[in-house]
Amino acid sequence: MRVYLVDILAVGFFILEWAVYAITLEHSAYGRDSLSARMHVYREVWIRRMLDREARMLDMQIMASLQNGTAFFASTSLLAVGGALALLRSTNEALDVLKALPIDIGPSPALWEIKCVGLILIFVYAFFKFAWAYRLFNYVAILLGSTPPASQRDTPLAEAHVIRTTRVFESAGRHFNRGQRAFFFALGYLGWFVSPWVLFVTTAAVVIVTWRRQFASTAWRAMGS
């Protein structure tokens, strides 16, 4: 099996960038100014304002749309896993196509299979994140349904319920974001199928694009105004 040092370095760079980005976004003071963090504030605002309403059908409709979007991504993750498995089974055909190219970028069969397994693991990770986020959104829907009536909005029971619901809501959003992040980095990982040097470039591009969306996008500026 031909595994070169540059392949190991490229994969190490990919894993390191993913880990550092995730830790910075979720566990640092810098990350507390991200678009996701700013949006979390409005989750609590939503729950508190819902206490003032007796009729809460609109809230449940919004909740249903969040659940449907999460279910879509979970289903897409399974389709992606199936596609990666098909790519793994078609190793010889894929290598024949690469050998026909004017430049030699064809890896050994064993290395190609390692690349496919890595892609499968990323999509499996994404599926688990989306599936758990969907489950948590179900819990949030139950908590919304058990919200105290508007006449009790100033009671300690209502305050405790707002905090409880907001925490579960935040956890659901966090796991959904992790699943989407896995999708973004899976796109960067595809660069390895071309060359480890391309993996360096695509990984950096994914980090730049995702960072910009979290800290320099139009949506981020709008949420800060």
Name residue 140's amino acid. Answer: V
Q: Considering only 137-141, 191-195, 210-214, which range has the smallest mean pLDDT?
A: 191-195
Which residue's entry shows tokens 């591009």? Answer: 205
Over residues 126-156, the pLDDT tens digits come to 999 999 999 999 999 999 888 888 888 889 9
Q: Which range among 24-28, 108-112, 124-128, 220-224 has the greatest average pLDDT? A: 124-128
Q: How far apart are CA 80 and CA 124, in angstroms?
A: 9
Helix/strand/coil percent split, the chain, to 5:
85, 0, 15
3-state secondary structure of 101: coil
Tell me: pLDDT of 100 over 80.
no
Q: How far apart are CA 42 and CA 62, in angstroms?
A: 14
- 147's tokens: 């919200």
Contact between residue 135 and residue 177 where contact means Cβ atoms under 8 Å apart = no
Q: How far apart are CA 136 and CA 223, in angstroms?
A: 25
Q: Exposed e or buried b for every residue in 163-194, given b needs 16+ CB within 10 A?
A: eebbebbbebbbbbbbbbbbbbbbebbebbbe
Contact between residue 130 and residue 73 where contact means Cβ atoms under 8 Å apart = yes
Map out the domains of the chain as residue ranges.
Answer: 5-224
Question: Does the predicted TM-score (pTM) go above 0.85?
Answer: yes
